[in-house]
Amino acid sequence: MSRWLYDPETDSRNGKEFEYNSPIHENDMLFNGFTYREIMDLVIANCGHDVTEAHINKEIIKLMELRTEEMRENLMICRENMLKEIRRV
């Protein structure tokens, strides 16, 4: 059965420990990938058109670090519900 892992309106921690205003569904991506166009746009925006392979690698690493941090935040928000479901077996 499909369900919400996090609902900001019912989580009493929201606004106290953290502030997160979007619900998280169990089918939502907790760790998003990168599209070709997203990387291209990011590199051009941050480095211009005269770039090297090293510039591209640096931007990809920064993007992966940002996405990893976002995933950790999403997991922190959902961890309580995840543990309940895992232990229910």
pLDDT tens digits for 50-71? 999 999 999 999 999 998 998 8
Rounded-to-integer distance, Cα 71 and Cα 53, Å = 27
| Chain centre distance of CA 49 | 28
Helices vs strands, H then E, count in the chain: 2, 2
Residue with tokens 């998280």: 24
Determine the pLDDT at residue 7. Answer: 83
In terms of Cβ atoms closer than 10 Å to its own Cβ (0-12, 13-18, 19+), residue 53 is exposed
Q: What is the pLDDT of residues 10-42, one digit of tens each?
A: 888 888 888 888 888 877 777 777 888 989 999
